[in-house]
Structure 1
Amino acid sequence: ATLAYSAITNNDKIGVIFFSDKIEKFIPPKKGKKHILLIIRELLDFTPENQGTDISVALRYFTDALKKRCTTFLISDFIDTHDFTRQLQIACNRHDVIAIQVYDKRDTSLPDVGLMRMTDLETGTSRWINTSSRRTRQAFSRWWYERQQSMSETFSKCRVDHASIATDEDFAHSLMALFKNRGVR
């Protein structure tokens, strides 16, 4: 997951925080093409040390590290077993936070293919699931829907604009709609 931010006062400083269940890398905000190329290179080459996700750790680090108000893009799949609501509220009191969920549509439902081995990439635990069971597929779809609803409620409660973008979608359309809905702030 990534926390990207830019200084709103001059609109040309950019920085990034890479995180998992810990802060993996922090690139402080700076100006210039050379700095932006460094960030792009890091985005392309970055491999996290840990596999877990703890958004509250990133938000806490972010609010401690940056005192000046800025616009922040919190980019994640938001699959996090930790409650990050409190840290998100604190971040939103100091900064303009925009959440962008990136997800794979294959993660939203289970196909009817019989026995399937599923591995949690964060914990490494595996188990076999019978996807032929309609009840199992419905339970999984319900879990996805409830998780999405909970995430949306958290963002609304914290007054965070957000967009969900599937990996196979044209992200430009979703981002344009997000910014159109935000209007001028």
Structure 2
Amino acid sequence: MLTTSDILKKVKELEIKSKRLTRHLFTGEYHSAFKGRGMSFKEVREYHAGDDIRFIDWNVSARFNATFSKLFEEERELTVILLVDVSASSLFGTVHARKKDLVTEIGAVLSFSAISNNDKVGAILFSEGIELYVPPKKGRDHGLFIVRELLTLEGKKKGTNLTQALKFLNNTTRQKCIVFLLSDFLDPDFADALRVAGKKYDVVGIKVYDPMDMNLPDVGLLDVEDAESGAITTIDTSDFLVRKSHHDAFFQHTEWTKQVFNKAGCDLLHISTKEDYVKVLQKFFIGRA
């Protein structure tokens, strides 16, 4: 159990790490990936050093024998919502971190990326029900509050109900916003709710998994407990067919989740607890720019 001083120390560490990543890696990419959407043309002006060369107006430049750039007006401030699964399966982890620890770090980075761009950020933490709702606001203190809740809150209920979380989002958030949905998606029936949310919001799913979710070690008989249902089963991990069945089930679920997001018109990232999430997020941001 974390003490108050442990919590404060960890929150400070996450703030420092998140701000460093935001400053050196994500500010430009976040800005291009999200704030550049829906920009409207404002005017043409003479090119200044540092202007984006993609916006040079070659026709005007040729006519006046000088270089001119197009200027665009950005969208108003954005709202970012973190929709975070805190069900019992998030507490599983066998390598560098639990799924919850990885989700907390990613949530911290996304929060401070939004705040550094003067955007609002809010959070909905859910399991079978809504565990916590933090309305969107600006500012460092608000970002720290969200990070502290991500770090310390554990779901009162063990299961996962993505449909209820998405419906709650729809009922509480009227304006268009960017929604980062962080979960292992151990819910067999959320396709309809995601399709509705995908029409209203810019939804980005982040599927977090542990290597053992994919591959079982060959260690003989194991008693395994389903973290969400509590069911206990004995399996023989030395049996190749048992390991293959586990492996195949993981990829079937992964493929199904991809199809659900594709049909809803939403993006989906996959990040392992042993993976460098910074590279995955940066590649995604750049790809959307």
TM-score under structure 1 length normalisation: 0.92
**Structure 1 unpaired stretches of 5+:** none
Equivalent pair of 1:2/1:18 in contact (CA under 8 Å):
yes
Distance 1:149 1:125 in 2: 25
* Structure 2 counterparts to residues 170-181 of structure 1, below 5 A: 170-181=276-287
Could you give the per-residue CA deviations for residues 53-73 of structure 1, whole angstroms, max 9, x where no partner exists? 011110000011101000000
Whether the aligned pair in 1 keeps the contact of 2:182 and 2:205 (CA below 8 Å) is: yes
**1:107 corresponding residue in structure 2:** 213
| Equivalent residue number for residue 14 of structure 1 | 121
Name the SS of the counterpart of 1:21 in structure 2.
Answer: coil
**C-alpha displacement at 1:11, in angstroms?**
5.4
CA distance in 2, matches of 1:103, 1:33: 29
Aligned to 1:27: 134
1:152 aligns with 2:258: yes
Please point out which of 37, 43, 51 is paired with 2:158. Answer: 51
Correspondence for 2:143 = 36
Within the alignment, does 1:96 sit opposite 2:178 as a pair? no
Would the alpha carbon gap of residues 11 and 158 (structure 1) be closer, same or farther in structure 2, given more than 3 Å must change?
A: farther
Q: Residue 118 of structure 2 contacts residue 138 of structure 2 at CA under 8 Å; is this kept in 1?
A: no
Which consecutive aligned stretches of 4+ in structure 1 deviate over 4 angstroms post-superposition? 3-7
CA RMSD of aligned residues (A): 1.8
| 2:228 aligned partner | 122
CA distance in 2, matches of 1:152, 1:100: 11
SS of equivalent to 1:63:
helix
Name the TM-score, length of structure 2 as normaliser.
Answer: 0.60
Cα distance, 1:108 vs structure 2? 0.4
- 8 A Cα contact 1:161 1:178, kept in partner: no
Count the aligned residue pairs: 180
Partner of 2:84: 2
Structure 1 position 163 matched with structure 2 position 245: no
SS of the equivalent of 1:49 reads coil
Partner of 2:244: 138
**Higher-helix-fraction structure:** 2
Question: Could you tell me how far apart the structure 1 residues matched to 2:261 and 2:127 are?
Answer: 20
Contact 2:181 2:206 in 1 (8 A): yes
Of all paired residues, the percent bearing the same amino acid is 38
Q: Which runs of 5+ in 2 are unaligned?
A: 1-82, 86-106
Change (3 A) 1:84 1:11: farther
Q: CA distance change for structure 1 residues 64 and 11 in 2, over 3 Å: closer, same or farther? A: farther
Distance across 2 between alignment mates of 1:99 and 1:136: 30
The residue identity in structure 2 corresponding to 1:2 is V
SS at match of 1:14: strand
**Which residue of 2 is the match for residue 60 of structure 1?**
167
